[in-house]
Structures are given as C-alpha cells and as structure tokens.
C-alpha cells in the first residue's frame, strides 16, 4: 500500500495524531531513558506501511506502539494487529486512541520477555498459518536486542520492517569489507534492504540523527545450518571482539586458542589468517564453522 493510497483514505482515525497534545493532556513527557521518539509525520508513517506490503489477510506485530501513530495505519492496512507497549503510562493513553479499531489487540509488556509467535496463537481471529509481519518504530538503544529476539524466535516472521537509526540501517545492510556482528546476525536469517530515509524532523521529539526504514525478508532456512548456529555466533563474537586485530589473533583471544591453532583452523577453511573479521562473507564464515567442528 503506497503512502498516497494511505493519505487518500477517508478513515476518520487517520487524521493527524496530536502527540504533543495527548502527552500534555495526560501530564506526560517523552521518556529519554526508554528512547521515546514518536514517529508523527504522515508521509513517513506511510513509508513504513508501504515497506510492510500489507494485505487484509496479514497479521502484524508492532513493537513499541507508543500512542498509536503507526498502529492506526497498520490497523487500516492489515487484517489484525497485535501492538506491544512497554511504558504503562503510555499504554493508558494508547487504549483510548485505539478504541475505535476492532482489529487491534494491545499488550502491555516487554517484547524481549515475550514469545512473538505465541501472541498470535490464542485469543486472536487472525491465524498465522502463512506467518506474520513485524512493523515497528523501535527505540535505538534496544535495536540489536529486538532484532536478534525476533529473528531467533520459535516461529519467525515472514518479514520485518523497522525504523532504525540511519547508521544502524547501513550496518545491517553492509557487504563484506564492512561487515559487523549485527550485519551477520541479520543476514544469516534474511535479506535486508533500506527502503526509505526518514529525517529527524519526522519524530517528536526530534532525535539528533536521521533514520531509515529497513525491511528484512526472512529466508526459508538460515544461511548457516541451524545445528551450526551456536558455533557460528561463538566464532563471530570472537572474531569481532578485537576488530583491529587479524582474525588469527582475534580468534585466539576470543576462543582461548593459541595463535598457531587459530591460524591452522583458518587455513583449513581457506581463509588467510591475516584478514580481519569485517572482510569475511557469510559463506566464508560457514567454511570456518565447518573447519572448527571437524
């Protein structure tokens, strides 16, 4: 659904949401500790929904619903929305904002303590036989933790659409030569792409940096076989633990190996021990896992 299509809708609940006014009426202020920067610009909200590519049959999980700015757009575009909000103070206002919508269920809680799939397995009219979609404007400070939690869930979403700090979005989509542990953690499960840029002024209050919309389409199977994922993440963490060092020395320190042992394992995987972790592709990490597990 395009932003233009969304804005052309006559649904009364898609009139601009007065976030500053709602906060003031409730005697609230954005909580910096919780990273509360509310996405309020209608064009930017439309870009998030467009990236989610929703239909009336889709079940959507929203993380960090806030006051419902994005939730309302998702409710119009999807069949059913489960929206999670951690802040109990905001949740009280959110329930009033979303009262006109009968296809939204609100949950007050911490997504990191919840099983995403379980939220759709009972008490909702929308079955997730074909999967569910995640769409969210998440706080910057928990970006990595939320992504890892969603991608490692017992039942993964079909796709994940997140508004994240622009620099983080670029790290997620990095190519070999500029890889990071975050990039590997995402790309082992899916294919990420940046679909839109969102200026800081589209938020209230405006953060100090611009954001991007990232869409991750989940693969049918991880690039690294599931039985090897534990070894993969162990090796990757060790490899990136000391970025300025060669892989041989970083792995030696992180895995408690001798430099000679680290070098031999790298060579058996066909990888130059003098390379650095950010230069390896996922396929090369897979070869390293194979050599490690022999």
Ranges of each domain in the chain: 3-218, 226-293
Same fold flag, 3-218 and 226-293: no
pLDDT given at position 133: 96
Report, at the CATH architecture level, how domain 226-293 is classified.
Orthogonal Bundle (1.10)
List the single range of 113-127, 203-217, 258-272 with lowest mean pLDDT: 113-127
Residue 140 is inside which H or E element, if any?
none
SS3 at position 220: coil
**CB neighbours (10 Å) of residue 200?**
14
Gap between the Cα atoms of 269 and 171, Å rounded: 26
pLDDT tens, 230-251?
999 999 999 999 888 999 999 9
Distance, CA of 264 to CA of 139 (rounded, Å): 42
| Percent of the chain that is helix, strand, coil (3-state, to 5) | 45, 15, 40
More confident residue, 134 or 131: 134
Output the pTM of the full model: 0.90
- Rounded mean pLDDT of 138-159? 90
Helix (H) or strand (E) holding 262: helix 259-268
CATH 3.30.2020.30 fits 3-218, yes or no: no
pLDDT band at residue 10 under the 50/70/90 scheme? very low
Q: What is the crossing angle of helices 259-268 and 247-255, to 10°?
A: 120
pLDDT at 4 over 50: no
Whether 7 shows a pLDDT value over 50: the answer reads no
SS3 of 143, please? Answer: helix
- What's the pLDDT tens digit per position in 256-272? 999 999 999 999 999 99
Distance between CA 160 and CA 52 in Å, rounded? Answer: 8
Mean pLDDT of the chain: 91
Q: Is the pLDDT of residue 45 over 50?
A: yes
User: Residue 118 — very low, low, confident or very high, per pLDDT cuts 50/70/90?
Assistant: confident
pLDDT higher than 70, residue 124: no
The pLDDT value recorded for residue 123 is: 57
């Amino acid at each position: 659904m395009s932003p233009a299509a969304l804005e052309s809708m006559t649904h009364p609940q898609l009139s601009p949401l007065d976030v500053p006014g709602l906060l003031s009426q409730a005697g609230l202020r954005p909580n910096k500790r919780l990273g509360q920067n509310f996405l309020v610009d209608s064009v930017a909200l439309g870009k998030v929904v467009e990236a989610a590519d929703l239909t009336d049959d889709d079940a959507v999980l929203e993380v960090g619903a806030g006051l419902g700015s994005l939730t309302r757009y998702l409710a119009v575009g999807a069949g059913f929305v489960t929206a999670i909000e951690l802040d109990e103070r905001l949740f009280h206002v959110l329930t009033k904002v979303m009262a006109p919508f009968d296809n939204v269920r609100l949950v007050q809680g911490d997504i990191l303590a919840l099983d995403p799939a379980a939220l759709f397995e009972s008490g909702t009219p929308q079955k997730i036989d074909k999967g569910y979609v995640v769409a969210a404007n998440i706080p910057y400070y928990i970006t990595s933790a939320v992504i890892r939690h969603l991608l490692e869930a017992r039942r993964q979403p079909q796709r994940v659409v997140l508004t994240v700090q622009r620099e983080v979005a670029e790290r997620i989509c990095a190519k070999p030569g500029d890889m990071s542990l975050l990039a590997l953690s995402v790309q082992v499960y899916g294919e990420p792409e940046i679909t839109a840029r969102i200026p800081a002024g589209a938020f209230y209050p405006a953060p100090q940096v611009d954001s991007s919309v990232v869409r991750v389409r989940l693969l049918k199977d991880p690039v690294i076989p599931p039985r090897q994922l534990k070894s993969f993440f162990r090796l990757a963490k060790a490899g990136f633990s000391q970025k300025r060092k060669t892989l041989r020395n970083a792995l030696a320190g992180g895995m408690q190996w001798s430099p000679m042992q680290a070098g031999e394992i790298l060579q058996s995987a066909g990888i130059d021990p003098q390379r650095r972790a950010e230069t390896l592709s996922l396929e090369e990490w897979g070869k390293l896992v194979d050599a490690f597990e022999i």
